[in-house]
Amino acid sequence: MSHPRSFDEIVNHQVRRWEMESEQGRPAAPTVALSRLPGSAAAELGQDVADRLGFGFFGIEIVDLIARETGTQRDLVAGLDEHVRSTIERYVVDATKGRTYDENVYHQQLVRTVTTLGERGLSVILGRGSAFLLRPERTLRVLVVAPREDRVERLAKRLDLSTEAASDHLDREDADRLHFNRHHFHVDADDASLYDLVVNTGALSLALAAELVVEAALGRFPQLT
């Protein structure tokens, strides 16, 4: 299966980032995990946060691609010590207990991808349960929200839909997201108490929201300064 060059560049650049940190003997860096209401501009926010911190940004589509690519997963794991590898595999086992085989195959790969990115750090990860899978002591967990009317407007513009069609689309995305997290992680993804920070992109500009997330990351993890 072939991917756009941008996919390979994202992964290769992240691997080089980790190699440089390892060569300099720095401790494992933290991760920013974003959960979001659909249409809240979380992808744009996440990319801005990653750029400001010098991290790699892994949106939902990129995480899914990595989860389906065995060779790419091997590249991400290369160089990890046995303790970290064991930690990742423990997360995989715990997160997929009680699943049927067919369901397990992809979910195992997804959990392995997210936890590998989290254990290696220097990443901003959007969705796919990252806020619930990764270790809280090494992760800034952020929920990105916006008023419904703002989200409908964004989706209508992005997908070139009428307001009514965008509203229906949003309802489906909201339901799918909540179902995914309840089914796989047994959480209500909209529970603000599960996060370290909630930002409202309807009340704040994306630049200000990104600045708040970066400040929170630097405050929680002084090694980033």
**Domains and their CATH numbers in the chain:** 5-19+29-218 (3.40.50.300)
Which residue ranges of the chain lie beneath pLDDT 50? 1-2, 4, 100-101
Q: Work out whether strand 139-145 and strand 31-36 pair parallel, antiparallel, or are unpaired.
A: parallel
pLDDT given for residue 4 in this prediction? 47
DSSP per residue, 102-136: HHHHHHHHHHHHHHHHHHH-SEEEESTTHHHHS-G
pLDDT given for residue 197 in this prediction? 97
**Dist. CA 50–CA 115, nearest whole Å:** 18
**Dist. CA 213–CA 125, nearest whole Å:** 13
pTM equals 0.82
